[in-house]
Every structure is written in C-alpha cells, then in structure tokens.
Amino acid sequence: MRVTPRRGNRRRATLAVATAVVLSTLAACSGGGGGSSNAGPRGDGVLNVGMPNAPQADNSNPFLATSASVSLGYRAMIYEPLAMFNGIRPAEDARPWLAAEWEWNEDFTELVITAQDGPEWSDGTAFSAADIAYTFQLVKDTPAFNGAAIPFDEVEQDGDTVRLTFGESQFVNQNRILGTYIVPEHIWSEQDSPETWENREPVGTGPYVLETFTPQTVTLTRRDSYWQGLPEVEELRYTSYNDNNAQTTALANGDSEWSFVFMPDYESVYIDKNPEHHNLWFPTSLGVHGLWLNTDQKPFDDPALRRAVSQVINRDDIHVQAHAGLYPALENPTGLPLPAGEPFLAPEYQGAVVEADADAARAELDEAGYDTTGDTLLDPDGNAVTVDLIGPAGWSDYLTALSIISDNLGEIGIEATLNTQTVESWRTSVDNGEFDATLHWTNSGGTPYDMYQHIMDGGMYHPVGEGSPGGNFGRYQNPDADAALDTYATTSDEGEREEALHELQRILVEDVPMVPTVAGPIGAQYNTTNWVGWPDESDPYGPPQPTQPNALDIVLRLKAAE
C-alpha cells in the first residue's frame, strides 16, 4: 500500500500531491453576500458564477485572502500555478502547468523548476523563469504572502530553471509551493507595498482579463490568445449575493449557473426546479468537521471520557439531519474521509466502520471509574459530568449538529448545555480555548498530515486564554503525536513516514483529541443548460467548487451544451 505521494527522488513532474484546501465552507455556513444578479442571455458564451460573499472591494491581489479575486475565485482565471492538482484524488499525479517539469532532492530541501515555454502575460510580455524566481522572492520577503511560513532559503535563476532551497524538509508543503500563483516581475516589482496593493488591473498568464468591476459583479473576458488553447467560455460574470437565500434563489431561477452555497433543503429549492439541468456534487478532500474537546481542563482532560463521547455520537444523524447529506459521511474511525483517504489508511483500520454505540460508551466509563446516579453521570470523584457546547449563531448546520450531540451525550448521563455566540465571539472563544466542546473544521491538504497536525500539534499549544489561531484548539499535548508529526514532515525514509502516519491514526482513535463528525466537502451547484463537462462522480477530475485553484481547469474543459 502506498501511503505517501510518489517521491520526488529525481523524478520529474510526478508528485502526487493535492491542492491545499482552505475549507471555504466557512463562507457558506456564515451566509455572507451582497448584490443582485446581472445574468446575460442564455447561450451567448457567458458563464454566470455566484457566491454569497457580500459586496466586494475592488481588490484583485491574488495573495490576499480578503481580496475579491480570492473571495469570488476569479484569481484562478487570471493567474496560474506551476502545477495543477486534484484535491479530491490526492494520490493522482500533479499535472505540469507553468512549470514544464520539476525535481525535488531526496530530503525535500531543494526544488528545481523548469519554466514552461510558450505562456505570455496578458499585456503581451513574454513569460519566463525570471517571473517564477521573482514571485518566490516576493513571497519570501513578504510575510503577508507566506501564510504557511515556508522557510525559503535561496531563490536562484539559471536560464529557464529556478532553484529553491529550504531550511528544512518541505515534503508536506509540496502542494503549497507548486500551487503558488505566479505574477509578472515587470508589474509587481514597481510596487513599493505589494502586501497592500489593490492590483485593480491584474495582468496574468491565464486566458481571461478583468473587464469591469462593481461591488456586486465582476466581469472577465476571454483573451485573443492563450498558450493552451482558448476556452469556449467567452465571458465570466461573478456576482456576489447578499446571503445564502439570495444565492439559492439565483441558482434556482438560472441567473447563477455555478456556485457553492449550503442548502438545507436542496432537493426542493434547487434540484426540483430543473431536474434535467440542476446538479449538485459535494465530494470530500482530506479534511473534516468535528467536535473539538478542550483537553486542557475538566471534563475532557480524561481520555476515557473522550473515547466514550466518540462512541456515543451518532454521525449518521449529523450527516443527514444537520448537513442535509451534503457533507459526506465519515465511516472510518481514523477520521480519514473516503475515498480520498483510502491510500493512507493503516492496515488495522482498513474496512473498519465507526457506529454509535451507547453500550460500549457506558462500558468504557464503567472501566474508568465513572458511576451513574439516576440519569446523571458521575466522574471518579463523584461529581456530575456537565458540558457546555458553544456554536456560532445563524449557522444552522452546526447548531443542529450540536443539538444532536447534546441528545447523544444525554444517553450516557452527561448534561450538555448549548450556548450560541456571535460568529466573531465564537471564533475568539475557539482561538482562546474558552470552551468545553465546539464544532469546527480542520485544515486539509495533499496528505492527512495537514488534518492531524491541525488537531494535535503540540507546537501550537497555548494555555487557555491565549490565542491559538493556527490550530490545536483543544490544547492537546502528546509527545508521541509530536514525534510522529515531526517524522512525517522531515524523514526521507518512506517506511518511517508511513509508520508515522499510522501512529497518528492510532492516537486519534485511542486518545481522541477531537471527534470527527463529517467530512469537509469541496462542493458546488452547477447548471448544464448552457455548459457541460463539469466534474462529477463519473469523472472526478477535480473538486467542483468555483473558488478552488483548479477552477480554471474546469472552465477549460467546459463545452457549450447542444
């Protein structure tokens, strides 16, 4: 069984790494948005894209998460990465894009990139390796552009190749590095403060240029030429709707043809409006949503109680009732979503299925010295076990899931109280560890490392009351987990890396630093009235979400409907 992506090992352009996914379910859950549809006539070469992300400021800086180009996803139509990844099939090889080929050394501290011959910037300037070298030097010198804190050492150009060296192994950051959007040196080098530059006239190597911008709608038009052949879509119109309801209405009536928005009743409000052409696909990556437990304080400083909670939670109910079946169900006790996680499973967990089992939870608690008086669970000291669950107001899927969890905990005598907070207050509580238990998502990446590191990295530990925005919200500390994470990230031995990943799976199952509940989807709604060729279960060539880095790959494959 191959657990790691195919090694660099002087091989070229064969890295099986998937795109880093920052779970954009946040926008869909929170229900931002603004604007109204400006959809054009049908069949005129226009593709109408929508997101419920509120009126946008005129900012097309591709490196800033707050820019309109990132929020709506159109940066992927203007700027291009070195390689294209399939985020829902992480075992697949990455495809060369602006890099014709690349080569890692044995310990992943050196990367040599060969620039693609043929791309041209939209202002007519030739693309070259100098642009690649400049971009990485820019990221190295601009902390705001280096969110993953990649330890760049040297950036050197030699003809059509660029050599990058790093202070430590970058095995776990291959996707982030090769997925970097490349910008033109002749434009960006003129900016004194690139981290605040609004980049209102973006120049990229992609097949589209920005035509018009309003806070509600951004229009991109197709260039006259493109190095890979022109797409059939002549114009892209991105509309930012006021909220989830407005976005859903636009999808239902056809004004919006491509979006990602949470629909609690998607069958009746969307699919049934046009069963022949309205489609929805929510595949998973290697990230999850789950119940984060504060392991630094009672009652969840006890692994036995954490195991009992994991055993009694009904994940099927959460999948169906809270997330309307849109967030894929989790079956494996390791938390790895399937099928994306299958290549990484430890042998003892292959074919394993996790199911709610209140009797097993009670047996776990009995063995650990817990007792029950009436309907109340007592800890080994004789104190009643109570839990405060917190959730963000307005996030109906999370609140429904927490209500289900509260009922589940009641089956083993735990009194759970659900308290809602404003989204901002909730995020602060999560970062500061000021909770007993709460739902939150994990990071996702080309391997399960990102998910497990986000949950249990002791290097991100902060005492309750101190912010930990990078992860480990549950304040988990385990030297075995830290050692396994370090080995996975730094070793050049595939066998050691495989065993380290297996150890992380065992720790999550046996010590339960967090309880995975549903897989993190990278989903979308799409309309086949005018355009066909979308990724789906029969052709899963990439995640369908319009804000993902592979969105350009989707548009390049679309064909006008007959």
Mean pLDDT in the chain? Answer: 90
With a cut of 70, say whether residue 27 has pLDDT above it: no
User: Binning pLDDT at 50, 70 and 90, where does residue 25 land?
Assistant: very low
Determine the average pLDDT of the residues in 214-236.
97
User: Binning pLDDT at 50, 70 and 90, where does residue 54 land?
Assistant: confident
In this prediction the pTM is: 0.81
With a cut of 70, say whether residue 474 has pLDDT above it: yes
Determine the average pLDDT of the residues in 307-313.
98
Cα distance between residue 103 and residue 84, in whole Å: 16
Cα distance between residue 357 and residue 208, in whole Å: 53
Contact 176, 108 (CB under 8 A): no
pLDDT for the residue numbered 492: 87
Cα distance between residue 547 and residue 500, in whole Å: 32
pLDDT digits (tens, 9 = 90+) for 493-529: 999 999 999 999 999 999 999 999 999 989 999 999 9
Residues 6+ positions from 493 with CB-CB distance below 8 Å: none
Contact 518, 398 (CB under 8 A): no
Sketch out the chain's domains with CATH numbers.
Answer: 42-78+206-283+522-561 (3.40.190.10), 82-196 (3.90.76.10), 286-521 (3.10.105.10)
Q: What is the 3-state secondary structure (H, E, C) of 119-143?
A: CECCCCCECCHHHHHHHHHHHHHCH
Contact 401, 517 (CB under 8 A): yes
For residue 320, the 8-state DSSP code is I
Per 3-state DSSP, what percentage of the chain is helix, strand, and coil (rounded to 5)? 30, 20, 50
501, two tokens: 């990943």
Nearest CA among 329, 235, 278 for reference residue 525: 278
Lowest mean pLDDT among 3-7, 78-82, 364-368, 399-403: 3-7
Query: Distance between terminal CA atoms of the chain?
Result: 43
In the chain, pLDDT over 90 holds for what percent of residues? 82
Determine the average pLDDT of the residues in 247-253.
96
State yes or no: cis peptide before 299, omega within 30 of 0: yes
**What's phi and psi for 76, nearest 5 deg?**
-70, -15
427, two tokens: 């995020």
With a cut of 80, say whether residue 248 has pLDDT above it: yes
pLDDT for the residue numbered 445: 85
Q: Which long-range contacts (CB under 8 A, 24 or more apart) does 273-279 make?
A: 274/527, 274/529, 276/528, 277/527, 277/528, 277/529, 278/251, 278/252, 278/525, 278/527, 279/525, 279/526, 279/527, 279/528, 279/534, 279/536
Calculate Rg over the CA atoms of the chain.
24
pLDDT digits (tens, 9 = 90+) for 187-215: 999 999 999 999 999 999 999 999 999 99
| Residue with the two structure tokens 């992927």 | 76
pLDDT for the residue numbered 38: 37
User: Binning pLDDT at 50, 70 and 90, where does residue 43 land?
Assistant: low
With a cut of 50, say whether residue 4 has pLDDT above it: no
Contact 485, 473 (CB under 8 A): no
Could you give the 3-state DSSP secondary structure of residue 412?
A: coil
User: Binning pLDDT at 50, 70 and 90, where does residue 21 land?
Assistant: very low
Could you give the 3-state DSSP secondary structure of residue 531?
A: strand
Determine the average pLDDT of the residues in 279-287.
92
User: Binning pLDDT at 50, 70 and 90, where does residue 17 land?
Assistant: very low
